[in-house]
Chain A
Amino acid sequence: DAGVIQSPRHEVTEMGQEVTLRCKPISGHDYLFWYRQTMMRGLELLIYFNNNVPIDDSGMPEDRFSAKMPNASFSTLKIQPSEPRDSAVYFCASSPDPDTGELFFGEGSRLTVL
């Protein structure tokens, strides 16, 4: 299995531009998580899905952030408009049946907003 695949790996954009981060979870995993990591705040849970349905988005910073999961093999995290304080590494993770207890993380998307 290829693991969780995220794209792009690096993104540099200017303030005000729209940013879309993509994630392909491991096939068969019912849970998908989006995290953000910064030096100041560490790893923060933004949102997670179960069977393509958003379950908890209380970690999404503000209305500029939105996440979708149109099918079991694809999810997006969109920031519109982007701001310099959104600069961070964004991780996607997927998980099989909760009884196994393991999260599988992607390699992350490093976002820099100038």
Chain B
Amino acid sequence: DAKTTQPNSMESNEEEPVHLPCNHSTISGTDYIHWYRQLPSQGPEYVIHGLTSNVNNRMASLAIAEDRKSSTLILHRATLRDAAVYYCILRDRGTSYDKVIFGPGTSLSVIP
């Protein structure tokens, strides 16, 4: 399975934009890039996903490099509620199975 690499931790000031990077140099053509986040004492929640083009939704934006070997999750204005562990994962849609494997993620701290 293709792997992802993320920084262990990042800090941001409240109301500032946050760029969370993810490297996935062994990504295959059928892998979707997904982002989830996990708030303290909760289960992970979906943030956004994409394949090749940049994506926007109400929570965040996803910028995907042209070669797809890296991506960046963008939170446009960090709030205290955005303090969480952010997971970048690849979803391999194989012909007979479908796995979602989480790595250690990036722990984001938001400073008031």
Interface residues of A (CB under 8 A from B): 4, 31, 33, 35, 42-43, 45, 48, 50, 55-56, 91, 93, 95, 98, 101-108
Does A108 contact B91, Cβ atoms closer than 8 Å? no
Contacts of B32 in A (CB 8 A): 101
Q: A101-B49, A102-B49 are in contact. Are A42 and B99 (CB under 8 A)?
A: no
Q: B48-80 vs A: 1/0 string, CB under 8 Å?
A: 010000000000000000000000000000000
| A-side interface mostly | strand
Q: A42-B102, A42-B104, A43-B102 are in contact. Are A102 and B46 (CB under 8 A)?
A: yes
- Among B34, B100, B104, B105, which residue has its beta carbon within 8 angstroms of that of A33? B100
Q: From residue A54, how far is it (CB to closest CB) to chain B in Å?
A: 11
**Which segment of B11-19, B21-29, B36-44 sits at the interface?**
B36-44
In the assembly, what is the distance between CA of A94 and CA of B8, in Å? 27
Interface residues of B (CB under 8 A from A): 32, 34, 36, 42-46, 49, 87, 91, 93, 96-105
In the assembly, what is the distance between CA of A99 and CA of B36, in Å? 17
Closest residue of A by beta carbon distance from B101: A45
Does A107 contact B42, Cβ atoms closer than 8 Å? yes
Does B43 contact A107, Cβ atoms closer than 8 Å? yes
Contacts of B105 in A (CB 8 A): 42
In the assembly, what is the distance between CA of A33 and CA of B45, in Å? 14
Contacts of B45 in A (CB 8 A): 105
Q: From residue A45, how far is it (CB to closest CB) to chain B in Å?
A: 6
The contact sample of 19 A-B pairs, CB cut-off 8 A, is A35-B102, A42-B103, A42-B104, A42-B105, A50-B98, A55-B96, A91-B44, A93-B43, A93-B44, A98-B91, A98-B93, A98-B98, A101-B34, A102-B46, A102-B49, A103-B44, A104-B46, A105-B44, A106-B43
